[in-house]
Amino acid sequence: MGVHDAKAYVGSLCEIVWKDRAGNTHVTMATIEDARYVPLYGAYLITDAEDIRLDQVVSIQVADAVMRKAA
């Protein structure tokens, strides 16, 4: 996923599935505030919970879709 693709989720509450350096999978429910390229670090997803590198993101789903699956 690129920065331009991730910008479609800005302002949305999303379930973000991502992997850390060790390969462990994490699931974060957060509002995406921005998606941008940070010089020397790469593309990042800026959320209200934490910043996540876009190359580590496995999937992003808008929370509304996640809630429908659970119901």
Q: Across-strand partners of 31?
A: 13
pTM: 0.83
The reported pLDDT for the residue numbered 67 is 63
Rounded CA-CA distance 57/4 in Å is 14
Residues near 53 by Cβ (< 8 Å), separated by ≥ 6? 18, 41, 42, 43, 44, 45
The pLDDT tens digits for 18-30 are 999 999 999 999 9
